[in-house]
């Protein structure tokens, strides 16, 4: 996702009109998928598992007001690419909240409307979607009036959704009367589509292509957009660092994202479970591109209703973890210890092979003294994590307050350092010198009555660090593998991540020495064929003598 796209399309409309379904239909799967990092295709098991599967789509549910945040991605229809924005449902009551103070009004409703307002203001085309079978409602009229006040008259297109097939297209039908009534809103005739079935997408493609072309022509004439030199090679943008923000409900994940980007980009508040979709936010830190992904709070699996919106939100959060490079686990410092659910999330990050950074939020609410400060608290969290999961020893733990901003500036240096250690290659010569020192420091184990020999080691890949050890045995004891892993972490600072060691039995013979086989004899077919011919010839002569 680029920071400054050429054309922005926002999807607005009343609740339960099919906006997220249209969003999923228009998004570009190839541009939106993160580059593969070798993540496991198996479903995450344990306390954070989910029965739902996520493909990166917006959460769709028949329940109204499922979408809350403003979600952005690359969109494509035909050969036309653009930036696509999905928004929360707009109704008359929420529009009325924009002109009132926030103290006595519902904070969540107004925050959702502020996100929709930001999408409408930055878009070049607003698709005003409504249910074609319901008709022109009061919410649709209020939304159209609100868009006209924003000065979006020439950038609004009415879209009548949920009109599958052509059974409704006859004179005098309720749908045809609704389409005639829609023209009175002042935005022209409505485009009839079915976002679920894909009907009417051709008309939408022609419209988007035409409006994008007209905008480009206007930008060139006004000097905003310059015509690129045809001979100059196109520069390939660097891939942003994929950063997933994970944790339980109401620990401050969304507050952390807003504090980092210095704006109210995602919804936040004291109510648990505000975030549903995994919201990707582009951010530039000291010239480095970072994609922050705010995720829903992950509760214990048994506390979620089957096939609920929360279960789909957790599946989206797990997908964000699988495609991330660094996972930031936010914990509540007021709890004074790590919950089993947080340890389960750490274990899932470890099994997925991602680098881990822990943020201990809300330290401003702790009672600190001159003898006990935030660093001492972070040390206790690190010790508890190491006791539960020894592989995660010395994992970076950052005490901070996302509300006041204390310690937030230390997050990105820790994230960049974790990514550097997670992806750095280690030379084969250095690894073999390390293996020689480690093997001399401890007796080699005996496997099946045979004393093992560590002959050679090489790094198969990084991200996460994976090494292959060639030995004279089929396997090594788990205790010795833990010994090697501990020394590998300490020698190369591979903390807060999984280290995978593969044991492979090497060949005992020299492959370049030609093997000596038994002499096969001469003639066609070798010795066996020659013996058979001799026996056949002897039998033939014996038969001839008996006849004579």
DSSP string, 319-340: HHHHH-SEEEEEEEGGG-S--H
Q: Band of the pLDDT at 515, cuts 50, 70, 90?
A: low
Rounded alpha-carbon distances, angstroms, from residue 221 to 89, 206, 214, 225:
37, 23, 11, 8
Quote the pTM value: 0.84
Query: Using an 8 Å Cβ cutoff, are 467 and 488 in contact?
Result: yes
Separation CA 480–CA 452 (nearest Å):
11
Residue-wise pLDDT tens digits, 195-209:
999 999 999 999 999
The pLDDT tens digits of the residues spanning 93-144 come to 888 887 765 545 557 888 889 999 999 999 999 999 999 999 899 999 999 9
Question: Cis link prior to 464 (omega < 30° from 0)?
Answer: yes
Query: Rounded CA gap, 270 and 286, in Å?
Result: 31
Give the count of beta carbons closer than 10 Å to the beta carbon of residue 300: 14
Q: Is it the case that residue 377 has pLDDT exceeding 50? A: yes
Q: What is the full DSSP assignment across 39-64? A: ---SPPPSTT--SS---SPPP--SST
Q: Per residue in 273-329, pLDDT tens? A: 889 899 999 989 888 999 999 999 998 877 776 658 888 899 999 999 999 999 999
Q: Taking 80 as the threshold, does the pLDDT of residue 465 lie above it?
A: yes
Integer Cα distance of 50 and 33 in angstroms:
21
Residue 365 binned pLDDT confidence (cut-offs 50, 70, 90): confident
Selected residue with higher pLDDT from 435 and 171: 435
Classify each residue of 45-78 as buried b or exposed e, where b means 16 or more C-beta atoms within 10 Å of its C-beta: eebbebebebebbbbbeeeeebbbbbbbbbbbbe
Rounded to whole angstroms, the Cα distance separating 520 from 171 reads 92
Distances (CA, A) of 50 to 119, 278, 307, 308: 31, 15, 9, 10
DSSP per-residue letters across 149-202: HTT-GGGEEEEEE---TTTT-STT-HHHHHHHHHGGGSS-SPEE-BTTTTBTHH
Which ranges constitute the DSSP H helices of 123-199? 138-149, 174-182
Contact at 8 Å (CB) between 496 and 418?
yes
- What is the reported pLDDT for 4? 45
Tokens of 44: 């995450």
Per-residue pLDDT band for 78 (boundaries 50, 70, 90) equals confident
**Cβ–Cβ under 8 Å, residues 496 and 356:** yes
**What is the percentage of the chain residues whose pLDDT exceeds 90?**
57
Task: Name the residue with higher pLDDT: 146 or 524.
Answer: 146
Tell me which of 121 and 521 has the higher pLDDT: 121
Position with higher pLDDT, 366 vs 10: 10
pLDDT at 1: 40
DSSP-derived pairing of the beta strands 466-471 and 454-461: antiparallel
pLDDT in tens, 470-510: 999 999 999 999 999 999 999 999 999 999 999 999 876 65
Residue 410's contacts (CB-CB under 8 Å, 6 or more residues apart) are 398, 400
Domains of the chain: 8-222 (3.40.50.300), 241-423 (3.40.50.300), 428-505 (3.30.300.20)
Query: Which residues, in sequence order, are bridge partners of residue 360?
Result: 331, 399
- Average pLDDT value for the chain: 86
The answer to whether the beta carbons of residues 100 and 113 sit under 8 Å apart is no
Burial of 417 (0-12, 13-18, 19+ CB in 10 A): middle
CA dihedral 48, 49, 53, 58 (to 10 degrees): -20
Q: List, in order, residues 6 or more apart from 11 with CB less than 8 Å away.
A: 19, 22, 23, 84, 85, 86, 87, 127, 129
Q: Are 245 and 295 in contact (CB under 8 A)?
A: yes
């Amino acid at each position: 996702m680029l920071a400054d796209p050429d054309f922005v399309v926002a999807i607005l409309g009343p609740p339960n009109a099919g906006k997220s379904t249209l969003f999923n239909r228009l998004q570009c799967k190839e541009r939106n998928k993160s580059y593969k990092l070798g993540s496991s295709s198996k479903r995450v098991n344990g306390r954070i598992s989910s029965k739902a599967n996520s493909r990166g789509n917006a959460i769709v549910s028949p329940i109204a007001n499922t979408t809350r945040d403003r979600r952005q991605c690359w969109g494509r229809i035909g050969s036309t690419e653009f930036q696509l924005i999905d928004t929360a449902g707009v109704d008359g009551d929420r529009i009325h909240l924009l002109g009132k103070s926030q103290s006595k009004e519902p904070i969540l409703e107004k925050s959702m409307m502020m996100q929709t307002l930001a999408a409408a203001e930055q878009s070049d085309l607003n698709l005003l979607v409504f249910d074609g079978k319901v008709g022109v409602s009061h919410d649709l009229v209020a939304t159209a009036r609100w868009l006209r006040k924003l000065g979006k008259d020439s950038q609004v297109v009415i879209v009548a959704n949920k009109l599958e097939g052509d059974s409704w297209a006859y004179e005098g039908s309720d749908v045809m009367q609704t389409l005639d009534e829609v023209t009175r809103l002042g935005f022209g005739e409505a485009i009839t589509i079915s976002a679920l079935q894909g009907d009417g997408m051709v008309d939408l493609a022609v419209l988007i292509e035409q409006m994008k072309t007209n905008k480009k022509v206007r930008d060139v004439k006004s000097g905003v957009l310059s015509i690129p030199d045809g001979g100059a090679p196109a520069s390939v943008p660097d891939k942003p660092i994929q950063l997933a923000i994970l944790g339980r409900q109401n620990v401050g994940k969304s507050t952390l994202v807003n504090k980092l980007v210095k704006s109210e980009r995602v919804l936040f508040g004291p109510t648990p479970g505000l975030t549903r979709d995994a919201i990707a936010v582009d951010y530039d830190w000291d010239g480095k591109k970072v994609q922050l992904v705010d995720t829903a709070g992950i509760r214990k699996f048994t506390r979620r209703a089957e096939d609920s919106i929360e279960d789909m939100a957790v599946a989206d959060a797990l997908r964000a973890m699988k495609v991330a490079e660094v996972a930031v686990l936010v914990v509540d410092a007021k709890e004074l210890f790590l919950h089993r659910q947080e340890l389960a999330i750490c274990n899932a990050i470890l099994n997925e092979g991602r680098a881990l950074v822990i943020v201990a939020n809300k330290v401003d609410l702790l009672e600190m003294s001159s003898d006990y400060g935030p660093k001492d608290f972070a040390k206790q969290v690190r010790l508890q994590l190491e006791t539960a999961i020894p592989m995660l020893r010395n994992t970076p733990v950052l005490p901070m307050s996302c509300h006041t901003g204390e310690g937030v500036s230390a997050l990105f240096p820790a994230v960049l350092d974790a990514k550097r250690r997670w992806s750095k290659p280690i030379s084969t010569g250095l690894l073999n010198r390390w293996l020689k020192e480690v093997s001399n420091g401890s007796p080699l184990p005996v496997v099946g009555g045979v004393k093992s020999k560590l002959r050679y080691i090489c790094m198969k890949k990084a991200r996460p660090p994976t090494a292959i050890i060639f030995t004279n045995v089929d396997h090594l004891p788990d205790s010795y593998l833990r010994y090697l892993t501990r020394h590998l972490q300490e020698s190369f600072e591979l903390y807060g991540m999984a280290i995978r060691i593969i044991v492979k039995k090497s060949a005992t013979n020299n492959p370049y020495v030609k093997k000596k086989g038994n002499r096969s004899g001469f003639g066609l077919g070798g010795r066996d064929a020659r013996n058979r011919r001799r026996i056949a010839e002897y039998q033939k002569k014996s038969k001839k003598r008996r006849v004579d």
